[in-house]
Amino acid sequence: MVGIGAGRELLTLKALKAIEESEYIVGYEKYVKEIEEFAKGKKLITTGMREEMKRVEIAVELAKKSVVSLVSGGDPSVYGILPFVFEFLMKKGEDIEIEVIPGVTASSASSALLGCPISGDHVVLSLSDLLVPWNVIESRLLYALRGGFVIAIYNPSSYSRKENLRRALRLVMEERGDLFVGVVKNAFREGQSISIVRVSELTENPDLVDMNTTLIIPNYETIVKNGKMFTPRKYEAKKMGGITRGALEIVERSSEILKNIVPGDGLREEILRRCIATTGDPSIKDAIQFNGDPWEGVEAIKKGSRIIVDVRMVKFGLRISSICAVDFANGDDTKTSSGLKSLEKLIEGSVVGIGNSPSAAITLYEISKFRKPRFIVATPVGFVNAEESKQLISSLEIPSITTKGTRGGSNICVAILNCLVEYAGRSD
């Protein structure tokens, strides 16, 4: 299994040696042609596009008696033919000796031509929906965008897939705005072209992209200057988990104002400041009630306690994964309450966040008598049972944070939980 690299001259010494030692070279015609000059005197067997299985079959049959190089562009494992080989051998129960020789993949080659965009965490994603359903591709792209990754897009387009590119670009625009995208066509091959264009330009001119193109979507840290693109290793917005420089300035100014309203370096003060920040209301600090030590919440999360929440608004706001009660609702009760009941066994030892539903808080109180959570944040809101439900929670012998009276809400619950999560992630 020989990766011949994403373009001419990107062949490794090891790949060259393997080709020299082989009797047969099998591959897609375009790739075999690319290494022709190194394969003089070899028996060349080529097949067309989408004939991967045929190539594999031929190569495996020949490999029973001879040394065969099955060549693949770039790296043989990256959207390459290698997984088909393993699949075939497993299905047939055949046993031949395989050596895998890695190759320079298109994302490395394209990154090099653009400068240095993939210097840190990045995602490689193919837009081809031949083997993977489009909804899976789309949701992976969404999470990669939200995760702040630089993204290398393979198979961005073919005649039948222009629509996929259009939808992907729309998502990029929605999530990251009209930023510059690296477009590398035929890297290290004849017809090489490198351009850096805006998402909107690319959307209007989809012909800038073809089957031999790799797109590099930068992240907010990436700098585009003098026709080059690079992503610094050091995160400027390090503490803020990937926000832009402009936003960081605002956050810093806001933090100064909040420190004047609630001075102090403790966890309690930080929680109060965040509740004020999320509501824009300094008086909310008088409604926050600490029942026991909030550090217990930090410790629980640090030790890996699972987080259970009442509604999706809380789940989606959290910077950590959680289980949401409404997803487990199955009774006549309110969704959050019946959901919590079905999660009953998991509640023991968990951190539970109730941001919206008084009925969930009451159910949690009942469950907590025999299955004790480690920590509770209960800020349900409203005029029916909200106040009573929080009084019940604060009467438990379990450390918790609640809001007094009718006040509260999912945003406050999220602000508090995210603060605990952040403190739990600190090394000091």
Nearer to ligand SAH, 215 or 396 (CB): 215
Residues 22, 69, 164, 214: which binds ligand SAH (CB under 6 A)?
A: 214
Site for ligand SAH contains 368 (CB under 6 A): no
Closest distance of CB 89 from ligand SAH, Å? 19
Residues 4, 7, 308, 389: which binds ligand SAH (CB under 6 A)?
A: 7
Residues in region 147-166 near ligand SAH by CB under 6 A: 154-156
Nearer to ligand SAH, 27 or 294 (CB): 27
Nearer to ligand SAH, 24 or 188 (CB): 188
Give the list of residues 6+ apart from residue 207 with CB closer than 8 angstroms, or none.
Answer: none
Residue 370: which of 347, 342, 340, 343 has the closest Cα? 347
Site for ligand SAH contains 78 (CB under 6 A): yes
Contact between 385 and 362 under an 8 Å Cβ cutoff? The reply is: yes
Residue 2: which of 319, 328, 19, 197 has the closest Cα? 19
Residues 34, 75, 270, 387: which binds ligand SAH (CB under 6 A)?
A: 75
Residues 74, 297, 353, 355: which binds ligand SAH (CB under 6 A)?
A: 74
Closest distance of CB 52 from ligand SAH, Å? 11
Nearer to ligand SAH, 7 or 294 (CB): 7
Site for ligand SAH contains 410 (CB under 6 A): no
Closest distance of CB 111 from ligand SAH, Å? 11
**Stretches 72-80, 165-173, 175-183, 355-363: which one binds ligand SAH (CB under 6 A)?**
72-80
Mark residues 184-203: x for contact with ligand SAH by CB under 6 A, - for none.
x-xxxx--------------
Closest distance of CB 419 from ligand SAH, Å? 42
**Stretches 74-82, 231-239, 356-364, 417-425: which one binds ligand SAH (CB under 6 A)?**
74-82
Closest distance of CB 130 from ligand SAH, Å? 11
Residues in region 83-112 near ligand SAH by CB under 6 A: 105-106, 109-110
Site for ligand SAH contains 114 (CB under 6 A): no
Residues 67, 96, 136, 211: which binds ligand SAH (CB under 6 A)?
A: 211
Nearer to ligand SAH, 6 or 15 (CB): 6
Q: Which residue's C-beta sits nearest to ligand SAH?
A: 74
3-state secondary structure the chain: CEECECCCCCCCHHHHHHHHHCCEEEEEHHHHHHCHHHCCCCEEEEECCCCHHHHHHHHHHHHCCCCEEEEECECCCCCCCHHHHHHHHHHHCCCCCCCCECCCCHHHHHHHHHEECCCCCEEEEECCCCCCCHHHHHHHHHHHHHCCCEEEEECCCCHHHHHHHHHHHHHHHHHHCCCEEEEEECCCCCCCEEEEEEHHHHHHCHHHCCCCEEEEECCCCCEEECCEEECCCCCCCHHHCCCCHHHHHHHHHHHHHHHHHCCCCCHHHHHHHHHHHHHCCHHHHHHEEEECCCHHHHHHHHCCCCEEECCHHHHHHCCCCCEEHHHHCCCCCCHHHHHHHHCHHHHCCCEEEECCCHHHHHHHHHHHCCCCCCEEEECCCCCCCHHHHHHHHHHCCCCEEEECCCCCCHHHHHHHHHHHHHHHHCCC
Closest distance of CB 81 from ligand SAH, Å? 8
Give contact residues for ligand SAH (rule: CB under 6 A). Answer: 6-7, 72-75, 78-80, 105-106, 109-110, 154-156, 184, 186-189, 211-214
